[in-house]
């Protein structure tokens, strides 16, 4: 299996982002985080550029998970629809 990274969520993700997701997408996104980011975040996460350098994104349908790898931790900053995710991440860095 993978390297087993620890998943850590920004407090705004647990208070705002996750409760707003439709139930079927909560399940899909949770499964993608557990299966992909917990084992191989550097393979599944595409690096972001310019002002978001150092961050990565995981695409799950029309939703994006923005995260950063910090040693053995994967810190998730935003889970939002693709139309709003990049405006939101600027406020949570």
Confidence of residue 2 (pLDDT cuts 50, 70, 90): low
Give, for 88, the enclosing helix (H) or strand (E). Answer: helix 85-92
Q: For 28-79, what is each residue's pLDDT tens digit?
A: 999 999 999 999 999 999 999 999 999 999 999 999 999 999 999 999 999 9
Residue 4 exposure: Cα atoms within 13 Å on the Cβ side: 1
Q: Which residue has the tokens 């790898």?
A: 69
Q: Which domains does the chain have, with CATH numbers?
A: 6-92 (3.30.2310.20)
Q: Which residue has the tokens 């405006």?
A: 87
């Amino acid at each position: 299996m993978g390297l087993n990274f620890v998943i850590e969520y920004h407090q705004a993700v647990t208070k705002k982002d996750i409760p707003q997701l439709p139930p079927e997408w909560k399940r899909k996104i949770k499964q993608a985080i557990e299966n992909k980011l917990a084992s191989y975040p550097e393979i599944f996460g595409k690096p972001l550029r310019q002002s978001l350098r150092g961050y990565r994104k995981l695409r799950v349908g029309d939703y994006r998970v923005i995260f950063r790898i910090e040693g053995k931790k994967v810190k998730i900053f935003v889970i939002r629809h693709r139309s709003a995710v990049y405006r939101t991440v600027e406020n949570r860095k």
